[in-house]
Amino acid sequence: MISVDNSAEKRVFHLIEKENEPNFIKFKNEIIESIKNKNYSNLGTLKDDEYAKQFSVFIFYEKIQIGISKITNSIIKTQLESLDWFKVLVGSFEEIKELIRDNEYILSRRYIVTDFEEYKDIFEDLYEKQLSGNKKLKKQFFNLFENINVCPYCNRNFVNPIYKENSVGGDNKNQSPDIEHFFPKSIYPFLSLSISNLLPSCAFCNKIKSDVDTFRENCLSPYEIKNGDFRFDFTLDLNQVKKVKLISNTNCKNSKILHLESLYNTVHSKYINDIFENDLKYTPKNKDFLDKFKILTEEDYKKVFRNYYKEEDFNKQPLSKMTKDLYNQISNLKSK
């Protein structure tokens, strides 16, 4: 699990029709400022501006109001009407978590016994039509994550979208990674279009995570995960990594749900053992080897480990977190 930026700037995306006009840029900055200051009522006044038609937050807002008006169950409908929808759509991860806490008794699958399906279907449909099936907006959504090459859940698979002018066979010109709902839309339909609930992910993680109730199961979203919330730990032996463990400092269940430990053990321990074999010639008593780590610069690290050194770059290349944790563990050995 790799941390992903959840700042206000990363919660605003839009069509590109007039994006170079100075007034458009000013308008966009006002949206971002309002989000930063949690001034959601100001978004209510901005929604009638001519540029508003280009912004996902206002497009979604309008369609959601129409969706809510179709709901026949009066309890669900009243609760949905009472929500601050700008907060639901562009609030921070912490804010949407609060929204679950405040509304789960009426708006989550666990507690609704009647008419849940109607409510869920309306929001599924909104998500399909307004984002996942809306080519232009979907492309802009993925542009928010242009610095992220690798699935933030597993740090194993690439998630870059492909946009091609022509395609051999069929009309599969554009291919995107999956859009993953951290809190499943099948349990919390009202968060179907909330930006802080959405992340690009590999198909594998999206599938394996599926309908797990991440709110109840104590999982951490890449939007909230912090340095040191978990780390890889290695059982080191002569010339070999025997076992890879994934240790969580917060008792979060991400590794268990995503089967990360077993995946890393069965598939990726080979990769780090190859580094051991080819470059490190590691033995615990090898003084030269341990001394080498005392002088390892960022550039040296890149050469030896063939990966990024800084945490902010971990989303750029697969297995970067595991590789860095291996380095940290070995370099700690030298001081013992």
Binding stretches for Zn ion (CB under 5 A): 151, 153-154, 202, 205
Q: What distance in Å separates the CA atoms of residue 23 and residue 171, rounded to the nearest whole number?
A: 37
Nearer to Zn ion, 202 or 252 (CB): 202
Q: What distance in Å separates the CA atoms of residue 11 and residue 91, rounded to the nearest whole number?
A: 8
Nearer to Zn ion, 1 or 236 (CB): 1
Nearer to Zn ion, 76 or 151 (CB): 151
- Least Å distance between CB 244 and Zn ion? 17
- Least Å distance between CB 184 and Zn ion? 16
- Least Å distance between CB 180 and Zn ion? 9
Nearer to Zn ion, 88 or 205 (CB): 205
Nearer to Zn ion, 196 or 201 (CB): 201
- Least Å distance between CB 205 and Zn ion? 3
Nearer to Zn ion, 80 or 244 (CB): 244
- Least Å distance between CB 220 and Zn ion? 15
- Least Å distance between CB 212 and Zn ion? 14
What residues contact 17, with CB distance under 8 A and at least 6 apart? 54
**Per-residue DSSP letter, 206:** H
- Least Å distance between CB 246 and Zn ion? 14
Task: Indicate if the alpha-carbon torsion angle 218, 222, 227, 230 is positive or negative.
Answer: positive
User: Are 275 and 305 a contacting pair, CB within 8 Å?
Assistant: yes
Q: What distance in Å separates the CA atoms of residue 16 and residue 179, rounded to the nearest whole number?
A: 21
The C-alpha torsion from 9 through 15 and 21 to 27, rounded to 10°, is: -50
Q: Give the gyration radius of the chain's Cα atoms.
A: 23
DSSP codes joined into one string, 226-279? -TTSEEEEEEEETTEEEEEEEEESS---HHHHHTHHHHIIIIIHHHHHHHIIII
Query: How far is the CA of 77 from the CAs of 63, 111, 328, in angstroms?
Result: 15, 15, 53
Nearer to Zn ion, 193 or 202 (CB): 202
Q: What distance in Å separates the CA atoms of residue 53 and residue 43, rounded to the nearest whole number?
A: 13
